[in-house]
């Protein structure tokens, strides 16, 4: 996959700058990756949509892309750079 492609948020359709923190949900069957902003509202949509896709029998891998200025190598939330300071809550 090209690193220069424009990434758009699947929740709000806004552009995601590659050096900004964001979440990728990759469909392991097709290799298609859905991207979402790290902000809470987009994360919520991410969870809801992923649950819907999981119920459809799809298999996903979630990727956490840290900000380019973030020193934290470990993927996930609560990182040292504050990329994902809002934990991804399970949709109620």
Binding interface with Zn ion (CB under 5 A): 9, 11-12, 14, 37, 42, 66, 70, 72, 79, 81, 83
Q: Which is nearer to Zn ion, 25 or 37 (CB)?
A: 37
Residue count (the chain): 92
User: Which tokens is 11 given?
Assistant: 């929740």
30-to-5, 34, 58, 59, 85 alpha-carbon distances in Å: 18, 11, 10, 10, 30
What is the smallest separation between the CB atom of 57 and Zn ion, expressed in angstroms? 26
Nearer to Zn ion, 28 or 40 (CB): 40
Q: How far is the CB of 63 from Zn ion (least distance, A)?
A: 13
């Amino acid at each position: 996959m090209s690193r220069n492609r424009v990434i758009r948020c699947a929740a709000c359709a806004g552009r995601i700058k590659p050096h900004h923190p964001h979440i990728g949900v990759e469909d392991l069957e097709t290799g298609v990756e859905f991207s979402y902003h790290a902000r809470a509202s987009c994360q919520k949509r991410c969870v809801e949509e992923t649950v819907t896709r999981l119920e459809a029998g799809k298999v996903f891998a979630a990727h956490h892309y840290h900000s380019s200025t973030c020193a934290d190598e470990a993927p996930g939330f609560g990182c040292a750079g504050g990329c994902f300071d809002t934990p991804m809550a399970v949709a109620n």
